[in-house]
Amino acid sequence: MKEGLRPKKHIVIRDLKRGVLTASTKEGEINGTLLNQWIPEEHMKDHNPNHPLETDVVNCWDVKLHRWNRFKISELETYNAIGSAPRAEANETGTGERENPQGTGNRGTQETPQKT
């Protein structure tokens, strides 16, 4: 995965809180989540498992290994949040953000009806 295509940490955390994401590094596959319903009660953390100042390391519950797992965003080879396209194929700009050529939802970009 190219450097510009890697997600930022806040995007990874958001995706982990929404469901299970699959990713891979040279060390192996990650099937992680931060959804409480997937984490057994005895393994729940009393605090946020992800330190806000650490920008590269992400901690998550691995649903296949049934344990806490950590990975570095800089070492991601693939990244796919459930319900979305793989990050590397998001778009040609490399930003991973959705393109919106119509401007739908953006203030000031709606066309005004023409008088006839």
- Asked whether residue 40 is domain-assigned, the answer is yes
pLDDT for res 104: 39
- Asked whether residue 96 is domain-assigned, the answer is no
- Asked whether residue 30 is domain-assigned, the answer is yes
What is the tally of structural domains in the chain?
A: 1
Digitized pLDDT (tens) for each residue of the chain, 116 residues in all: 666 789 999 999 999 999 999 999 999 999 999 999 999 999 998 888 999 899 999 999 999 999 999 999 999 999 998 754 344 333 333 444 433 334 434 444 444 455 55
Burial of 9 (0-12, 13-18, 19+ CB in 10 A): middle
Distance CA 105, CA 108 (A): 9
Find the domain containing 38 and state its range. Answer: 3-83
